[in-house]
Amino acid sequence: MRAVDLVAGDVGTIGAVTLTFFGSRSTADDVYHFTEDFLTLRAVDARRGVVATRAPATTG
């Protein structure tokens, strides 16, 4: 977490922070997330367009 004070002269203290994570349990399956940068980076280096795993994929 990052807190920035944008008003000069104001001082404060953050006493606690809570993070809540959502999702499912971890599995042996691979999950890939592709962002808007994917096509740009692939255009620079075609090897970035190849996704490979070391183990056979599972379903279910």
More confident: 23 or 29: 23
- The DSSP 8-state label assigned to residue 28 in this structure reads S
pLDDT at residue 55, rounded to an integer: 67
Q: Rounded distance, CA 30 to CA 4, Å?
A: 36
Contact criterion met (CB below 8 Å) for 46 and 40? no
Residue 43 — very low, low, confident or very high, per pLDDT cuts 50/70/90? very high
Higher-pLDDT residue of 41 and 58 is 41
Q: What was the pLDDT predicted at 58? A: 63
Mean pLDDT score of the chain, rounded to an integer?
Answer: 82
Residue 36 gets which letter from DSSP? T
DSSP for residue 44:
H
At residue 12, the pLDDT reads: 80
